Chains A and B, each alone.
Chain A
Amino acid sequence: MFTPVIAKLSLLFFAKVGDSCALPGSGVRSFFGFPHWWKYLSGARDPLGKCAPNFQFPSDTWAVALAIIDILLRLAGIAAVISIIIAGIGYITAAGSADKITASRKRIVNSLLGLGVVLVAATIVSFIGNSLK
């Protein structure tokens, strides 16, 4: 029962500040499956013995930006799913109205187009970025 407390206390007293440590992985304390903003940063012990992201100002900026891109990719997928569900409900409740059917179909096409743009952009831009290095 006291083992986790003792482990934490020992961390508090014996782990040096600035020691490198492993940050929690992508599945831990997830919010709708979004990746964490510290995904590409390394961890270091803070004065309380916790593992905190070790952010160095100029060099790590784009690492955080890359993690935000990952979050946006996840957001795009969720937005597409929700939009298609809304369009499906619109289709069901159209009840023969031609206008509503066209609007729902347009919504589905647009959400698929948006998803396609996101996927193609992620592939092409990362390819160009890698070949420039």
Chain B
Amino acid sequence: MTQKIKTLIIFTALLLLCTIGYAKHFASAAPCLNSTTDSSCHCGDTGCDNGLPVKNAIDCPSGKVDQTDTSKCAPLGNDCNGLTSSQCLKNNPITSNLNDAVNFLSAGVGIVVIGVIILGGIQYTLAGDNATATKAARQRIINGLIALFAFLFTYAFLQWIIPGGL
């Protein structure tokens, strides 16, 4: 029972991690499409409107020409209608809701951990001279501390693996 819950939690955390990493990778790898609309784009960058001839839709692996920059193919695998891929990701309901969920949950980690440890403390206080009750209280406190350290390590790991940090 406990083992199952542990596995489930670890699996969910890993899944969340992978999704965030994937989303951030896409956002950071967004190509510079047009120097007139994208202020972070300087001419001479790859993909800028540097006078290249207009692409033919048949030559493109995705079968489409980018709508903002006709010298480039539309990116393969997503139908963004000429938006840059970072904008496309921001409009994606899954990504935006996921970000909201991550922010909401990470704001609550400290509060939940402190609640668990205080419950453990109350359990300890009410244990009296009963050794098993003391043990249960200690186990609850230790579990709260494990949760806190797991979150800290996940946070540090995300800072390390995501370009630009969380």
Contacts and interface: CB of A to CB of B under 8 A. Distances in A.
B121 A125 contact: no
Interface stretch (B19-27, B55-63, B84-92, B106-114): B106-114
Contact of A65 (B111, B120, B128, B137): B111
Given A68-B115, A83-B126, A126 B121 contact: no
Interface in A107-124: 107, 110-111, 113-118, 121-122
Contact of B121 (A66, A87, A107, A118): A118
Nearest to A121: B117
Contact of B129 (A62, A110, A121): A110
Contacts of B157: none
B16 interface: no
- Binding site of B, secondary structure by majority: helix, strand, loop or mixed? helix
A10 interface: no
Contact of A117 (B108, B110, B115, B141): B141
Contacts of A92: none
B123 interface: yes
Contact of B124 (A65, A103, A114): A114
Interface of A: 58, 61-62, 65-66, 68-69, 72-73, 75-76, 79-80, 83, 86-87, 102-104, 106-107, 110-111, 113-118, 121-122, 125-126, 128-129, 132
Q: Can you list the 3 inter-chain pairs with the closest CB atoms, starting with the nearest?
A: A114-B125, A114-B124, A129-B110
